[in-house]
Amino acid sequence: MAYDGNINPIPDESRWPEFESQTIEPPVQKTKAGRPKKKRTRAADEQCVPNATFSKRCSLCGVLGHNRTTWLLHIWGPLVHQISIVQIDGGD
């Protein structure tokens, strides 16, 4: 039942019937938002650029490991945290 009937082979392209219609074009590709990706592939002898690691540098003292926001914590340490708690509680 599943294979009942014959399937005729498709004739070669020269025997296809002629159709007079508009040619079908692919849809227009829209450029997507954002930075375009690099199309260049690196050569075999070209080394890969390692990912740059981000390190914080303080704009006040120039030391690595902290920034301007956490500068006071870096200098005074836990003492700053205790002072801020006393100020919030009202000094009691």
Q: CA of 20: how far to CAs of 15, 16, 23, in Å? A: 16, 13, 9
Instruction: Judge contact between 62 and 55, C-beta under 8 A.
Output: no
**Each residue's pLDDT tens digit, 1-55:** 567 778 778 888 888 878 788 888 889 988 889 988 777 778 888 887 766 666 7
pTM here is: 0.27
> Residue 89: pLDDT band by 50, 70, 90 thresholds?
low
Instruction: Judge contact between 48 and 42, C-beta under 8 A.
Output: yes
